[in-house]
Amino acid sequence: MFDLQGKVALVTGGNGGIGLAMARGLADAGARVAVVGRNPVKLLAAVASLGQQGKESQAKAYAVDVCDEAAVSTLMAQLIEDFGRLDILVNNAGINIRKQVQDLSLTEWNAVMDTNLTSAFLCSRTAFPHLKKQGGKVINIGSMTSIFGASFAPAYSASKGGIVQLTRALATAWAADNIQVNAILPGWIDTELTQKARAEVNGLNERILARTPAGRWGKPQDLAGIAVFLSSAASDFITGTAIPVDGGYSVQA
């Protein structure tokens, strides 16, 4: 039910953090995986680390800015040439610019929206004809800020709220094509993205630990199981959902 052999997955931001952990989960379940990012050093390391599990030939890296419409089209054409098909798209690439809204420039707002939300639209739209051929899965990565406001992250919160609504729109549009579209809402996960905030924001670490019933930060690997589930036949009648993976953070009063 969870077997992904024969499937091909594309993971944006798959060269580090949560994306790489999900890529590893998908590869472990049998999928061939294309990882996408901008940093070539991280891309090489990601493919090598997937290869350490004997899956090097199963993984390939693509240096692409997912905000660039033309580059996304070229990526998809290259991926189909390399792998012959696409079954699973994970829209995971993301950035945050931590500023109060009154201090945020339009350029900064656009950078966050383009990376976190518009890229998911671009990649999903470009993947659609390939997913449609045999049915497929789209997984969008939201956040706790898909649910809660965050004074220090206005564009990030808007983009992650938008991810949930994009998920619902795509799920309803593509259900008849046997494409399931779901969102994962990670809690506070220890990655490059949060390490800086953890170091710089006074008391953040303590607040997260106090609010999370599991009593710890998440690890990128905590996202691997849900990625496999939402990529597999086990979730074929689940679409349009947004599933928190947060150690209970979102249900704590």
**156 catalytic per annotation:** yes
User: Which residues does residue 182 pair with via DSSP β-bridges, in sequence order?
Assistant: 139
Single residue of 28, 69, 80, 95 touching ligand NDP by CB under 6 A = 95
Note whether 13 binds ligand NDP by CB under 6 A: yes
| Contact status, residue 20 vs residue 14, Cβ threshold 8 Å | yes
Query: Smallest gap, in angstroms, from Cβ of residue 237 to ligand NDP?
Result: 26
161 binds ligand NDP (CB under 6 A): no
Which of 115, 180, 182, 212 binds ligand NDP (CB under 6 A)? It is: 115
For position 66 contacting ligand NDP by CB under 6 A, the verdict is yes
Query: In this structure, what token pair is assigned to residue 56?
Result: 């090097």
Smallest distance, Å, CB 209 to ligand NDP?
A: 13
Q: How far is the CB of 160 from ligand NDP (least distance, A)?
A: 7
Compare residues 194 and 239 and give the one whose CB is closer to ligand NDP.
194
Q: Is 16 in the site for ligand NDP (CB under 6 A)?
A: yes
State yes or no: residue 93 binds ligand NDP (CB under 6 A). Answer: yes
Nearest to 85 by CA among 37, 123, 136: 136
Q: In whole angstroms, how far apart are CA 65 and each of 39, 68, 235?
A: 10, 6, 30
Instruction: List, in order, residues 6 or more apart from 82 with CB less than 8 Å away.
Output: 34, 60
**Helices within the chain (DSSP H only):** 17-28, 40-50, 69-83, 106-113, 119-134, 154-174, 192-200, 204-211, 224-231
Nearer to ligand NDP, 115 or 232 (CB): 115
Q: Which is nearer to ligand NDP, 80 or 197 (CB)?
A: 197
The stretch among 23-31, 91-99, 121-129, 235-243 that binds ligand NDP (CB under 6 A) is: 91-99
Q: Which of 121, 156, 188, 229 is catalytic?
A: 156
What are φ and ψ of residue 66, in 5° steps?
-75, -5
Segment 180-209, which members bind ligand NDP (CB under 6 A)? 186, 188-189, 191-194
Out of 18, 22, 89, 227, point to the residue binding ligand NDP (CB under 6 A): 18
Question: In this structure, which amino acid lies at residue 149?
Answer: G
Q: Which of 48, 46, 56, 2 is nearest to 23 (CA)?
A: 46
6: DSSP letter: T
Q: State the minimum distance, in angstroms, from the CB of residue 223 to ligand NDP.
A: 8
Which DSSP string corresponds to 163-199? Answer: HHHHHHHHHHHHGGGTEEEEEEEE-SB-SHHHHHHHH
Binding segment for ligand NDP (CB under 6 A), chosen from 52-60, 89-97, 172-180, 203-211, is 89-97
Amino acid identity for residue 215 in this structure: G
Q: Which residues are catalytic?
A: 156
Binding site for ligand NDP (CB under 6 A): 12-13, 15-19, 36-39, 42, 65-67, 92-95, 115-116, 141, 143, 186, 188-189, 191-194
